[in-house]
Structure 1
Amino acid sequence: MIELNDVWKTYPNGVMAMNGMSIYIQSGEFVYVVGPSGAGKSTFIKMIYREERPTRGEILVGGENLAHMKERHVPYLRRNIGVVFQDFKLLPSMNVFENIAFAMEVVEASKPEIRRRVMDVLDIVRLKNKARFQPHELSGGEQQRVSIARAIVNNPDVLICDEPTGNLDPETSWEIMHLLEEINDRGTTIIMATHNREIVNNMRKRVIAIENGRISRDEVRGRYGYES
């Protein structure tokens, strides 16, 4: 599904963010990406949805080599990759339904299909009764649920979550994690960058630890492994 082969990334300022990284993630896995701040986690995440390109090496997603992908093909890649951010990134001028529908409009889905699918994902995230609410009328947890609904509305094979619980209280964080586990159970591959020690240690999944741009640890049912 996702494969990195000897991937290096050096930014123009000379910072080396990836240092010969190689990893394979199978379809349907739930993977935590952990490590100290500045270790290369964000670069790793951005490489998978082609926000960043490697200096050298090979990145394969669904058989496509992202290192050599032409810019015009990137939007098609992203139809199969949903992204959930720490700060939600909802459009404040649109209501809940419109925020989610927008992700389908950009891929030119029909209006009946948009209506059906948006209501389906609102049901999955348990927000059907909030379809006409504006983002500012929602709690942080509800906003993150909308962000997740938007990320999965086009049925992506991969869901990338970049610190999805970083702005949430512990109780709400657990609600989001149980939702992500349900989505994973439906067959979606989930890759989640996190600093949340409690979540990683209690919801035991595969853990990939990154330090100094390298894979320092790769464990099935792993633990967080760093002090709070």
Structure 2
Amino acid sequence: MIKMKDVCKTYDNGVSALNEINIEIDRGEFVYIVGPSGAGKSTFIRLVVREVKPTKGTIYVNDVNVNELKEKKVPLLRRDIGVVYQDFKLLSKLTVYENVAFAMEVIESPPALIRTRVMEVLDLVGLKHKARSLPQELSGGEQQRVSIARAIVNNPKIVIADEPTGNLDPDTSWGIMKVLQEINDRGTTVIMATHSKEIVNTFKNRVIAIENGVIVRDEHRGEYGYEV
């Protein structure tokens, strides 16, 4: 599913973000990426979605060597990766339905399939009744649920959630986690970068800890391991 071998990433300004990363994430896993701010978590995610290339080492995502992937093929790679952002990134002038449908329209899915699939995923995240609402008419938790619906509407093999509960209150965060857990239970690999000790320690999954660009801990059903 995801394999990194001897991966290093140094940016043009000389900052070394990751150093000698060796990791494998199998299909259907739920993995937390934890660590202090600036540890390299965001770079790890950017490498998986091919926003940046490694300075050294090889990365395979869904059996594709992303190092050797031509730029015109990158959108095809990303069709199998859904991304959930901390700040939602919804289009303010589009309804909930239109925001989710847009992800299918850009890959030219048939209109009939779009209508059916969008309502399916809105039902999954509990927002079928909000299909005609605009993002600004929703709570933060509801907007994040729309973001999740958009990320999974094309049936990706991997969902990457970058601090998906970072701007939400604790009660709302539990609801978002239950949705992500259900998506994982249906077979989708979920990789979640988080600073939430409560979530990691409550929803037990694999924990990969990164500090100063190095993996210092990799535990199945691990704990957060940092004071907050």
Please give the range of the TM-score, normalised by the shorter of the 2 chains. Answer: over 0.9
Query: How far apart are 1:103 and its partner, in Å?
Result: 0.2
Following TM superposition, by how much is the alpha carbon of 1:181 offset from its aligned partner in structure 2, in angstroms? 0.4
* CA displacement 1:130-187 (0-9 Å, x = unmatched): 0000000000000000000000000000000000000000000000001100000000
> C-alpha deviations, 1:48-88, integer Å up to 9, x for none?
11111111110001110111111000000011000000000
- Whole-angstrom distance in 2 between the partners of 1:84 and 1:198: 20
1:212 offset after TM fit, Å?
1.1
AA matched with 2:73: H
How many Å separate the matches in 2 of 1:118 and 1:201? 32
1:75-90 equivalent positions in 2, closer than 5 A: 75-90=75-90
TM-score, structure 1 as length reference = 0.99
Letter in 2 for 1:38: G
In structure 1, the residue matched to 2:69 is 69
Which residue identity lines up with residue 187 of structure 2 in the other structure? Answer: G
Instruction: State how 1:82-161 maps to structure 2 within 5 Å.
Output: 82-161=82-161
Which runs of 5 or more structure 2 residues have no equivalent in the other structure? Answer: none
Q: Which residue of 2 aligns with 1:227?
A: 227
CA shift digits 1:195-214 (9 cap, x unpaired): 00000011110000001111
User: Counterpart in 2 of 1:211?
Assistant: 211
Read off the aligned partner of 1:187 and give its amino acid letter: G
AA aligned opposite 1:84: V
Q: Does 1:44 align with 2:57?
A: no
Aligned residue identity for 2:15: V
TM-score by length of structure 2 reads: 0.99
Amino acid at match of 1:159: V
Q: Secondary structure at the match of 1:36?
A: coil
Deviates more, 1:163-172 or 1:65-74: 65-74
| Secondary structure of residue in 2 paired with 1:151 | helix
Q: What amino acid sits opposite 1:109 in the alignment?
A: S
Show CA shifts across 1:90-128 (max 9, x none): 000111000000000010001101000000001100101
Quick one: which amino acid aligns to residue 42 of structure 2?
S
Moved over 6 A (4+): none
- Give structure 1 stretches of 5+ with no counterpart: none
Provide the rounded CA distance (Å) in 2 between the counterparts of 1:159 and 1:90: 17
Aligned positions of 1:151-190 closer than 5 A: 151-190=151-190
Aligned residue number for residue 30 of structure 2: 30
Aligned equivalent of 1:195: 195
Amino acid at match of 1:131: A
CA distance in 1, matches of 2:16, 2:159: 26
Question: In structure 1, what is the Cα distance between the partners aligned to 2:199 and 2:103?
Answer: 29
Equivalent AA in structure 1 for residue 98 of structure 2: E
Distance, in Å, in 1 between the alignment partners of 2:71 and 2:106 is 17
